[in-house]
Structure 1
Amino acid sequence: MLTKRDLLRSAAMTALAVTTAKSTPAIAQNKADWPRLLEAKDIAEAGFIYGLPIVMNYAIMYEYAVDRNSGQFKAPFNQIKNEPNVYTYKDTAIVTPNSDTPYSFVWLDLRAEPVVLSVPAIDPKRYYSVMLCDGNTYNYGYIGTRATGSEASDYMVVGPDWKGDTPAGIKQVFRSSTQFSLAGYRTQLFGPDDLDNVKKVQAGYKVQMLSAYLKQTPPSAAPTIDFPKIDKELVKTNFFDYLDFALQFGPEQGNEKEIRAKLARIGVGPGKALNFKDLPLEHKLELGLGMKEGQRKVDEAVANAGKAINGWRVSGLPGDSAHYNGDWLKRAVAAQAGIYGNDPAEATYPFTRVDSDGQTLDGSKHNYTLTFPAGQLPPVNSFWSVTMYDGKSQLLIKNPINRYLINSPMLPGMKKNEDGSLTLYIQKDSPGADKEANWLPAPNDTIYLVMRLYWPKTEAPSILPAGEGTWRPPGIKRV
């Protein structure tokens, strides 16, 4: 989701040119212990696929919670940052940004003690969710309208090694598989004049350490960490250095035994230090080729993710540890396609770059329509939207009416056809005053469209299971 992933891709492509040394002492690679020819390449390939989401997550955490000068910094660990606005074309750090729900973020450091997340009572008509995503990019829990309801409640988030009791007053405990974790809040905005109401909701989100919640003396602080810097130099640095660092905060899970044992054979893992610079040339070549092949496999799998339905691709990529079940390629695809995406039950995201005939969507050449037949709007318990992006950058586009999406809260102001169907006009120029309420402005270039179904219905018609459901997104027609 972040442009930081481009750096990671470059890391694979330029791995052979890496010369940057680590500050930590390297473990000498005994030539006799090194895997056989091509075996190290296969280990590096598997390790790159396994490690890509972990390193992507670290890069984002570093920019959002560690480096105050990153330009993307939100707040220090265990402090919430509310963003009382939705994304516009001016927001360029995140690709395919959601422009429906203002965000709040808190990066959690769970090493010393658990963190308590408190939410206020929220109008049941206003959708909100708090997605808990750990350093393995597992969505390990949800708080919100769908998952826990709309009443005021306190929840506790604990690290992988926490052994304490659950205090009175805590509604639910969520366990992260890593010591660092992200809580991402989405709060529904009904329209531009609703922003003050959203700010009031956000002001009610509270984050406190367990000791503060219990009004007790806090435990000793966790050790200070020297976080390895993430910047443009990443492309000249060994990818596995970052994986080495990140793995120490995530105890090995049962389904990781095999891949971690393989990585240990090339000096990668918590407490290890693969010093790429000091490896013999043939070993550098093996690792570089393995990373490059790993990236190729991820790219290919992203392009073919899910199922093609009327030109849209519908998939249910993200989930928890059980959802991936050790399928590291599936996890890497979910991260590269859109890190921190929701579970399908929370939100499902059909996307397309082509019309119903399979031709590339291009606002410089054609006008398009998207028609939902009468009674066949996206079936959701909360709300749905269709968002327009530039086809190349996947960013929101500047347009004369400052409209980046059409969503279900806008329906009362839109015009339906005589038969009760709803047509959206997808084009770069206004379709005329009589149709402008239904106009989704397009770029003067290629188009990327994402539909979002928040809290999709489970009874028919439903988009779930993703790609197999009874509701199918209608195709986009060239005018």
Structure 2
Amino acid sequence: MLTKRDLLRSTAAIAAGAALARPSLLMAQSTPGIIEAKDIAEAGFIYGLPLVMNYAVMYEYAVDRTSGQFKAPFNEIKNEPNVFTYKDTAIVTPNSDTPYSFAWLDLRAEPVVLSVPAIDPKRYYSVMLCDGNTYNYGYIGTRATGSDAGDYMVVGPDWTGDTPAGIKQVFRSSTQFSLAGYRTQLFGPDDLDNVKKVQAGYKVQMLSAYLEQTPPRAAPIVDFPKIDKELAKTNFFDYLDFALQFAPEQDNEKEIRAELARIGVGPGKTFNFKDLPLEKKLEFGIGMKEGQRKVDEAVANVGKTINGWRVSGLPGDSAHYNGDWMKRAVAAQTGIYGNDPEEATYPFTRVDSDGQTLDGSKHNYTLTFPPGQQPPVNAFWSLTMYDGKSQLLIENPINRYLINSPMLSAMKTDADGSLTLYIQKDSPGADKETNWLPAPDDTIYLVMRLYWPKTEAPSILPPGEGTWQPPGVIVAG
């Protein structure tokens, strides 16, 4: 599926033996020359990668009931009564700290009202609003709006209307389809029933239902194109073309949209990859491959390196990216639907403190937080293990995918008060198993999460420049 790392790489791979298809008269008459078309395809790939990745997740979660990852139809909430495991594969680097709830929103006909219950201030929660451009355009939750109950309205890009009484805040999506991603803190396995009670208080309803009025005419039925690993290899621009019809052009997109229109991609266009002659397919393939190479290179160099960790503040709203399409693509590939740095900051690493690739088949590792130097947060922190290739959670004998601060009371500290974590594929022994983070028998990808990081020193903010720094991963023995 599209969001797996191998697919991110294969998206740009065009089958060399593709059959020669009938030429498109439109393309033959209007497309730029070979070099220029390659450049447009490269820039378009970088610009469009987050939109296509988002579409793939939306398709699995809200459209295709047979996907194995389906959650709920549009404008209905699906509460996950458990944290994510290795079986959850639709999203790369999934969080396994907080049971998720998802509501994919169709905002074409009318706004949607999201209602949240009063929640214990000690329990962190957030509702991240992320649109089809992968812009985080708003937050509801402990940090952003507090712990009181409230009703919030989400509107589409073209909505004009009054804000009803009782609505605390209005959030505007830049696209007609959008995601509300809920994270509700779990304090431990015995806390799951309490999380379920909180989730039961989340409510999603159309504005007309909220106001007890007759609903407006329904939006037209959409024929969502099927997307999967194989289709994505050659049909990337078909999917981008489809997604853009629900994403009105913003001021900072005029240039890239105009270039895409020259190759037949955009609202009202009829781009169809299979109708291109082979030479055009190859032009697009070269451009996409180069675009993916540049994204991969930028991911490897994102942010600032601190003790082997990459520390950056990637995700944000439209103003945050300000037309930097590479930055947006890197944020999506690193972990689509990541939080703004103020909500959560994510140091990540694939290397030890000496810069050598982390590999559970070759070494055991330790990570030690000195006394009083655990990640400084208002909510909680965690360290999550992923497979180095797929960026997915790994199956392991104790079903432990992370170590987080709510687990500290059950963990052992060193004589000097420091906290040492054992990162390896085999158990470090019964006496150390409380501090064991199981690793794959292969390369390792580690992500630290600081939820609601503190702003006063010591702090990880601003990302890469803060006074708190993550300690390096050390080869054991």
Correspondence for 2:12: 12
Alignment partners' CA distance in 2, 1:190 and 1:319: 27
Aligned mate of 2:182, from 180, 185, 198: 185
Check conservation: 2:2, 2:229, Cα contact below 8 A: no
Q: Which amino acid aligns with 2:387?
A: D
Correspondence for 1:333: 330
Alignment partners' CA distance in 1, 2:472 and 2:176: 44
The aligned length equals: 476
Aligned mate of 1:158, from 148, 155, 158: 155
Alignment partners' CA distance in 2, 1:11 and 1:19: 18
Change over 3 Å in CA distance of 1:357–1:164 after alignment to 2: same
Alignment partners' CA distance in 2, 1:236 and 1:307: 32
Aligned mate of 2:81, from 79, 84, 89: 84
Task: Give the secondary-structure state (helix, strand or coil) at the position aligned to 2:122.
Answer: coil
Aligned mate of 1:323, from 320, 324, 330: 320
Change over 3 Å in CA distance of 1:7–1:146 after alignment to 2: same
Alignment partners' CA distance in 1, 2:300 and 2:361: 24
Check conservation: 2:3, 2:53, Cα contact below 8 A: no
So what's the TM-score if we normalise by structure 2? 0.95
5+ residue gaps, structure 1, are: none
Correspondence for 1:242: 239
Task: Give the secondary-structure state (helix, strand or coil) at the position aligned to 1:341.
Answer: coil
Change over 3 Å in CA distance of 1:2–1:119 after alignment to 2: farther
Aligned mate of 1:285, from 282, 287, 306: 282
Alignment partners' CA distance in 2, 1:450 and 1:341: 12
Check conservation: 1:27, 1:273, Cα contact below 8 A: no
Matched, 1:148 2:145: yes
Give 1:356 shift. Answer: 1.1
5+ residue gaps, structure 2, are: none
Change over 3 Å in CA distance of 1:13–1:398 after alignment to 2: closer
Matched, 1:129 2:101: no
Check conservation: 2:153, 2:171, Cα contact below 8 A: yes
Mean Cα deviation higher: 160-169 or 84-93: 84-93
Check conservation: 2:132, 2:174, Cα contact below 8 A: yes
Q: Which amino acid aligns with 1:184?
A: G
Matched, 1:66 2:63: yes
Give 1:48 shift. Answer: 1.0
Give 1:40 shift. Answer: 1.4
Matched, 1:174 2:163: no
Give 1:459 shift. Answer: 1.1
Give 1:144 shift. Answer: 0.5
Give 1:5 shift. Answer: 6.0
Correspondence for 1:47: 44
Task: Give the secondary-structure state (helix, strand or coil) at the position aligned to 1:105.
Answer: strand
Mean Cα deviation higher: 394-403 or 334-343: 394-403
Q: Which amino acid aligns with 1:251?
A: P
Name the % identity: 86
Q: Any residues of structure 2 matched to 1:56-455 within 5 Å, and which?
A: 56-235=53-232, 237-455=234-452
Give 1:477 shift. Answer: 1.6
So what's the TM-score if we normalise by structure 1? 0.95
Change over 3 Å in CA distance of 1:368–1:138 after alignment to 2: same
Task: Give the secondary-structure state (helix, strand or coil) at the position aligned to 2:26.
Answer: coil
Alignment partners' CA distance in 2, 1:7 and 1:354: 23
Mean Cα deviation higher: 203-212 or 230-239: 230-239
Check conservation: 1:18, 1:237, Cα contact below 8 A: no
Task: Give the secondary-structure state (helix, strand or coil) at the position aligned to 1:172.
Answer: strand
Give 1:312 shift. Answer: 0.9
Check conservation: 1:16, 1:284, Cα contact below 8 A: no
Q: Which amino acid aligns with 1:28?
A: L
Mean Cα deviation higher: 276-285 or 249-258: 276-285
Give 1:254 shift. Answer: 0.1
